[in-house]
Structure 1
């Protein structure tokens, strides 16, 4: 638990902020089974057992009424970033990238449509497949992001920041 808090402090700059849960989240490490708190943003939590083909992360939330942007990152501890997803509302862009071996790769931006609306709920599913992450928003496939991290099991942390409220994470 102390290691998880230290990792969260390093990422968020907020000392001694506990991981928050709104109930049992079997895929993520929670502070304790007795604590029932809302998921606060910025959020940083552990992905139990890392990622692997067939595993799915679901994020349900609400976009703030006057959003700027939000980011969702799947990382290998405090090192590589396997997937960074950035929603930019002004440009209606959904950018994604990876940071492997000390450098960022080529940013990807192509999407069929921008799926997020201010002050509206959303559901993001990140499916880990053999070759890529498939991202689905509100039931609509948005993009595939081909794996740049070699070992999927090392992807053990999720971070969420920005103009949104998280209502459920599993």
Structure 2
């Protein structure tokens, strides 16, 4: 198991090994006091957002929406992944993502299933967990990986990295023409 405690928000935590069936990611956090903005948890691969989980507070019908992005947003899969937002101001939460071969299985919030989300891009392409918006993240737990590499050292993404992820001036990184991850997209 690999743990990250109190990562800054916004930020992206490198995932040092490829996601595979059986991997779990648990994000523990708290909605900021007086929150009226969104926050997102995302699985990132270069300029692509493999999985976008967006908790929306500013809309009249507070929502949780899941999607993906590769040059343009995918279609929000309405019935299965659009829910009333169960979180409110100052609420603590645990978001659980379990990886299966063809989908993220029963994405759960505080033990309550939200949805399954079919892979639109290979889960093996995921390089980082992104967190942004009006939220405090207390810890992130990664489990089910082989942990055959050092998760705490420097990491070569094959691009410039996610240094300004979540900021207004963020420019998504681009893979070099010969990077192996180009085959995923």
| TM-score, normalisation: structure 2 | 0.67
Shift of residue 104 of structure 1? 2.1
CA-to-partner distance for each residue in 1:28-60, whole Å, 9 max, x for gaps?
A: 7xxxxxxxx732111211112121111110000
- Quote the residue 2:135 is aligned against: 164
Paired positions, count: 135
RCO higher in 1 or 2 (8 Å CA, sep ≥ 6)? 2
Query: Which of 119, 130, 138 pairs up with 1:147?
Result: 119
Cα distance in 2 for partners of 1:38, 1:140 equals 24
Contact 1:27 1:47 in 2 (8 A): no
Question: Aligned to 1:104, what secondary structure does the other structure show?
Answer: coil
> Residues 121-136 of structure 1 correspond to what in structure 2 (within 5 A)?
121-134=92-105, 135-136=107-108
Contact 2:63 2:83 in 1 (8 A): no
Seen in structure 2, the aligned counterparts of structure 1 residues 79 and 123 have a Cα distance that, compared at 3 Å, is same
Shift of residue 103 of structure 1? 2.8
Which runs of at least 4 in structure 1 moved beyond 4 Å after TM superposition?
none
Shift of residue 144 of structure 1? 1.1
Query: Which of 78, 86, 98 pairs up with 1:115?
Result: 86
Cα distance in 2 for partners of 1:132, 1:87 equals 20
| TM-score, normalisation: structure 1 | 0.72
Contact 2:55 2:63 in 1 (8 A): yes
- Quote the residue 1:138 is aligned against: 110
RMSD: 1.9
Structure 1 unaligned blocks of 5 or more: 1-24, 29-36
- Quote the residue 1:104 is aligned against: 73
Shift of residue 109 of structure 1? 4.4
Cα distance in 2 for partners of 1:126, 1:140 equals 12
42-51 or 57-66: bigger deviation = 42-51
Shift of residue 112 of structure 1? 5.0
Contact 2:3 2:140 in 1 (8 A): no
